[in-house]
Structure 1
Amino acid sequence: MTSSISAWIWSERFWLPENVSWADLEHPPPGEEYPRAGHILYALPLAVGVFLLRLLFERLVAKPCAHILQIQAGVPRRAQPNPILEQLYQSKAVRKCPDTRQLEGLSKQLDWDVRKIQRWFRIRRNQDRPSMQKKFCESMWRFTFYLGIFIYAIRHLWVSPWMWDTRQCWHNFPFQSLVPEQYTHYVAELAFYWSLMFSQFIDIKRKDFIIMLVHHLATIILITFSYANNMLRAGTLVMCVHDASDIFLEAAKLANYAKYQKLCDGLFVVFSISFFLTRLVIFPFWIVYSVLFESWEIVGPYQAWWLFNGLLLVLQTLHVIWFYLITRIAVKAIFKGKVSLCESFLQVSKDDRSDIESSSDEELYSNGSKNLRQTLNTKDNSHTGNFNGEAHDH
């Protein structure tokens, strides 16, 4: 039964062009090597290593940098233990923010001043919020990876003929020799996304958790199958184009956490320009065009061809939506002028929890739970984020 499922998943009729079999790819010419699906399994233990490397990086590099920049390490106060308030705080009905009626009831039950209860809930919420230092460390790790892998990829692609003539991605496909730099690039990217799958459950939880989980899973599947059927030349181009703008995204977030708003605004402008050029110009008119039209002309369509092109077109649609959101938020920030360009941009990242509330926020509570949440959400969103595109991202 296992062999039948494996044969169905790796069907030659689906993944390979006509008259090509997996056996053909197992016997490359002397001195050459073709990709094999088994090679990519090394990414799994490497993902554990990447995750451990990240922990060391955050502890030995990112945290010292955060201390130098005077970024807070944690919550300064903890709420006074109170079983009644704690039970109510954990209740979904309250959503960690009691309304006026509940505050009055608690005041009578505990013989506490309403303002004291409001203060308790404020301090308790702050306990659950991630520190700015934790956000900084996460972003610094992603920034370092994206920068490193982009430099590695561009050094290899710069001297590769298929970067300048994309038709070379399809000449003699899929019988194209595996270049060591391609393998390293693929395994590093795959290990990184596997590590994100692990760490997403312990990282700062955001509202787009499910979306990002699906995104990482889809990315892993695409990288794995594009490696297995030797679509490495186009695959490395796709990954390189996406990593380029992510560098400036993470750099803008680092500047925002360090309170360098002018630098953050400048990096946001650079990110917007790079996002537009890489994902709305280079990606559709250079890479997608090659996969869609040049591969049809040189190789011809096959079943997996429709899948890969469909996914690339869906990805391009997301790029257009993301850029529309970026542009809309930037325009609002520029014309309204209430917050910096960078802070407005980071609203699209959707952190599930905000930064530390100040005691002045208590004055907002008296207007009722609904208005309170609206006000705090507006305030919180100006500080937080992980744009997904990252889009991260791919």
Structure 2
Amino acid sequence: MTSYISSWIWSERFWLPENVSWADLERPPPGVDYPHLEHIYIALPLAVGVCLLRLLFERLVAKPCAHILGIQAGAPRRAQPNDVLERVYKSKTSPDTKQLDGLSKQLDWDVRKILRWFRIRRNQDKPTTQKKFCESMWRFTFYSGIFIYAIRHLWVSPWMWDTRQCWHNYPFQHISSGQYNYYVAELAFYWALMFSQFTDIKRKDFSIMLVHHLATILLITFSYANNMLRSGSLVMCVHDASDIFLEFAKMANYAKYQRLCDGLFVVFSIVFFITRLVIYPFWIVNSVLFESWEIMGPYRAWWLLNGLLLVLQVLHIIWFYLICRIAIKALFKGKVAKDDRSDTESCSDEETKHKNPGQTLRPNDISHTGNLNGDTHDH
């Protein structure tokens, strides 16, 4: 039964071009290596190692840096102990109007006081600025290191300068140790992101990021299994470039270097636009869609992989829209405004919504902050 399911999932008719079998890839010529799926199974235990390495890095490197920069952990204000409200909070962190009215009658509390309790209780569970700084510093370090490694490898690769080389003699293309290490490191990191997403700082774009991580993991795994490593390396490298500047900007913001934060955000926006809205669609996706069709023709997995690439492009457009909103606010404020994907909240906004649930907020009613608390893994 297991062998039948495995043969169905890894059908040669689906994953490989016509007249190519898995057996052909298992018998490479002397001195040539082809990728095998079992070679990247090590990414899962490595992902656990990445999570542990992150904990050590944040404790031994990032936290001391935060202290040097004057970023203290701080103790959040604690909500007044109340068993009734605590039980409600565990089931629903933001009660609706009907629940608020019921709690008001039950406790003989003013609704505004209950709203304030829930706001303080939610903030009590949120990570401190120091925690967010450590998280950003870890990602900045990884993105910088893996990007430098990728550029060193790709700079001497002919397919970086001529994307048609990605499809010549496909799928019988040699895999180098550099390609293998790059793929395993990226896959382990994204599995670690998938695991940690449920414990890290919660964002408004949680669902988008979940789709993003799943699409990325599937792309890396599938492109490795059917030896699309050349185009896959280009995709990963392009995605890492802008994240370096975003995480650096967030670190500067947490350290209250506002001018540096603003400058880095401008650089991030430019790099994001160039890499993900110009290079990615018009250079890489164009190669995977059109050059591969011309050189080797489409097959079933070809449609799946291109579909995943297009999903990522849609996400890029959504993210760039959010980036533009921040940039527009910055033009009027003179500094980077709050990331629209952040999960920050203010007491006045919450209480206003309860008092006037049908009223539309005017632009002047919106509270602006200088915090760049959003996130992009953007890959």
Provide TM-score, normalisation by structure 1: 0.85
Report what 2:231 is aligned to. 234
Is the Cα–Cα contact under 8 Å of residues 215 and 312 in structure 2 kept in the other structure?
Answer: no
Unaligned runs of 5+ in 1: none
1:283: Cα distance to partner? Answer: 1.1
SS of the equivalent of 1:343 reads coil
Report what 2:267 is aligned to. 270
Report what 2:22 is aligned to. 22
SS of the equivalent of 1:178 reads coil
Counterparts of 1:119 and 1:313 in 2: how far apart (Å)? 43
Report what 2:343 is aligned to. 352
SS of the equivalent of 1:259 reads coil
Cα RMSD, aligned residues only: 3.0
Report what 1:320 is aligned to. 317
Q: 1:211 to 1:116 in 2, by over 3 A?
A: closer
Is the Cα–Cα contact under 8 Å of residues 89 and 97 in structure 1 kept in the other structure?
Answer: no
Report what 2:371 is aligned to. 383
Is the Cα–Cα contact under 8 Å of residues 337 and 368 in structure 2 kept in the other structure?
Answer: no
Identity of aligned residues (%): 71
Q: 1:260 to 1:156 in 2, by over 3 A?
A: same
Unaligned runs of 5+ in 2: none
Is the Cα–Cα contact under 8 Å of residues 242 and 268 in structure 2 kept in the other structure?
Answer: yes
May I ask how many residue pairs the two structures share in their alignment?
Answer: 375
Name which of 343, 368, 376 aligns with 2:337: 343
1:315: Cα distance to partner? Answer: 2.2
SS of the equivalent of 1:46 reads helix
The farther-off stretch of 95-104 and 4-13 is: 95-104
Q: 1:263 to 1:9 in 2, by over 3 A?
A: same
Superposed CA deviations along residues 321-380 of structure 1, whole A, max 9, x for unmatched, are 32233223312431xx2462x224x22xx23345xx7xxx5x7777563569979x9548
Counterparts of 1:197 and 1:93 in 2: how far apart (Å)? 24
Superposed CA deviations along residues 270-307 of structure 1, whole A, max 9, x for unmatched, are 01110111111111221111111211122121111122
Return the letter of the residue paired with 1:168. Q
Q: 1:20 to 1:368 in 2, by over 3 A?
A: closer
Name which of 135, 142, 154 aligns with 1:157: 154
Whether 1:66 and 2:66 are equivalent positions in the alignment is yes
Superposed CA deviations along residues 111-162 of structure 1, whole A, max 9, x for unmatched, are xx99877765554343122211111111111111111100000000001111
Is the Cα–Cα contact under 8 Å of residues 16 and 226 in structure 2 kept in the other structure?
Answer: yes
Is the Cα–Cα contact under 8 Å of residues 89 and 96 in structure 1 kept in the other structure?
Answer: no
Whether 1:169 and 2:166 are equivalent positions in the alignment is yes
The farther-off stretch of 266-275 and 87-96 is: 87-96
Report what 2:293 is aligned to. 296
Report what 1:78 is aligned to. 78
Alignment of 1:174-185 (within 5 A): 174-185=171-182
Superposed CA deviations along residues 84-128 of structure 1, whole A, max 9, x for unmatched, are 443455563963999996796477x37xx9987776555434312
Name which of 293, 303, 306 aligns with 1:309: 306
Q: 1:168 to 1:93 in 2, by over 3 A?
A: closer
Provide TM-score, normalisation by structure 2: 0.88
Return the letter of the residue paired with 2:59. R
